[in-house]
Amino acid sequence: MSTESADHNKVSDSIFAKSMLGMMMIAVAVSALVLGVVAVLAMNSDSAAESSSRASEVSVVEVTLTEFTVTFNPSVVLAGDVTFMVTNGGAVDHNFAIPSLNVRTAMLKAGETTTLEVKGLEVGEVEYLCEVAGHSAAGMAGKLSVVEAGTAMDMAAGSMSSAMSWQQMDKMMEEVALKFPAKTSGIGNAELPYTMSDDGYKVFSLTAKVVPWEVEPGKFVDGWSYNGMIPGPVMHANVGDKIRIVLKNELPESTSLHLHGVRVPNSMDGVDPYTQKPIEPGATFTYEWTASEPSVGMYHSHHNAQVQVPNGLAGAILIGDWKAMAMAAAGGRTKDTNNVAEQEVVMVLNDSGTIGLSLNGKSFPATTPYSLAIGESMVVHYYNEGNMTHPMHLHQPSGLVVAKDGIMLESPFWADTLNVAPGERWTVVYTPKDAGVWAWHCHILTHAETPEGMRYMVTALIVK
């Protein structure tokens, strides 16, 4: 490794040390929040009447089919007679089937709804899928938990039945909230160190491979990763740099790497079979170019991408000093005390594939909280690598949107909720003015909350 990359590592070390300090502050702040919640619960518990009512009628479960995921409300089903209300909320045809019971809906067009009645569903797990070729492999398959009515788990059965009292719901929500930030194995977006080649290139090495990925505590999925992490590691470079990315394919199928939003020669665009041959399993391909413009770039698969990208094959490549550029664009309009950004955050949104609804490859309560002091600034790059638009909402402060897709806006604007469509990158400066633990989530409410509490695309900004 060259001196340059050694220096780079030193910088990473100090950022790591700083972020550890930040995490400790977060722990203190979260503990304070938790104590508050527990105190409130203790006050309420006296008045909490025991709910003995039990729904004996058929339970109704809403099933939503989209590209390429199946969601259930409630997410846990009571044994007995069940009516599945199945809606195709996606853009192409889907159906819903339980092969072990030999039941299935007809093929549903976008927007259509039908019901599927199942008698005497037994306790355990039942496998379900969409039977359109390729859709189950893309994520539209899984196991549904069926629990006995009357067990503690039927609290999860949600607002559709009267089995769950409001007290039980509050208790479940509190239990989930107390777990935040829950520790899971694996974290994405680590800084990728480079080496300098003899011919003057910054060389970044990526290996694409499938790893077990813990999306939320105890839930492991097949994660399609770069270097074993989801999102893939972050690459930083400067305008004028000669960049080389060496990608080794250890996946069970071919792949290619597209540099989305980065100006490269056509032969480096990663769109097989046009600009290159597919990178077959076991093979390596080298992408190289000279960075001519600043970029808030994505790198992601462009081969069987509707499966490979939402399953995890995506990451960020940032060219240029975006902390400085963003603050310059903000032009002193924020309440930052020194007009310097303390943090740069990459936030990758996903909603499909094996990873599903997530922020940076994790679902609440396993998402990472962020912390800032009043008067400090955080430059956030939202990246949507999923298949739906997500209106990202930070409770406070409002953000100053300074760039879209790595291009500076001529007129930055303020937003507390910002639509981020698939493929888009938005760069936002957040400068807090008020202390507290501020929720930060997608505002499609089914992407953030369930009857069992907050889940999926939720994190927090802790302001000291």
Which residue ranges make up the site for Cu ion (CB under 5 A)?
A: 390, 442, 444, 447
Structure tokens at 8: 């780079």
Nearer CB in complex with Cu ion: 408/439:
439
Helix intervals (H) in 159-292:
166-179
> Would you say 98 or 444 has its CB closer to Cu ion?
444
Which amino acid belongs to residue 115?
Answer: T
Question: What would the DSSP string read from start to end of 218-230?
Answer: TEEEEEEEETTBS
CB of 280 to Cu ion, least distance (A): 35
For residue 441, the minimal CB distance to Cu ion (Å) is 8
- Which residues does residue 430 pair with via DSSP β-bridges, in sequence order? 378, 399
Residue 316 CB, shortest distance to Cu ion, in Å, is 19
- Could you tell me the smallest distance in angstroms from the CB atom of residue 75 to Cu ion? 17
- Least CB distance from residue 447 to Cu ion, whole Å? 3
Q: Which is nearer to Cu ion, 178 or 345 (CB)?
A: 345
- CB 356 to Cu ion: min, Å: 11
Decide: 378 and 427 in contact? Cβ < 8 Å: no
* Cα-based angle 126, 89, 385 (whole degrees, multiple of 5): 90
How many beta carbons lie within 10 A of that of residue 23, not counting itself? 13
Pick 205 or 419: Cβ nearer Cu ion: 419
Contact 416, 400 (CB under 8 A): no
Classify strands 219-226 and 201-216 as parallel, antiparallel or unpaired. Answer: antiparallel
CA pair distance 106, 97, nearest whole angstrom: 9
What is the smallest separation between the CB atom of 425 and Cu ion, expressed in angstroms?
16
Task: Report the DSSP beta bridge partners of residue 116.
Answer: 84
Question: Cα–Cα distance between 445 and 357 in angstroms, integer?
Answer: 12
Q: Which of 67, 336 has the CB closer to Cu ion?
A: 67
Beta strand 378-384 with 425-430: parallel, antiparallel or unpaired?
antiparallel
* Cβ pair 306, 207 in contact under 8 A: no
Q: In whole angstroms, what is the distance from residue 262 CA to residue 356 CA? A: 26
Nearer to Cu ion, 153 or 439 (CB): 439
Nearer to Cu ion, 169 or 444 (CB): 444
Q: Which is nearer to Cu ion, 302 or 425 (CB)?
A: 425
Closest by Cα among 418, 413, 424, 412 to 440: 418
Smallest distance, Cu ion to C-beta of residue 97, A:
26
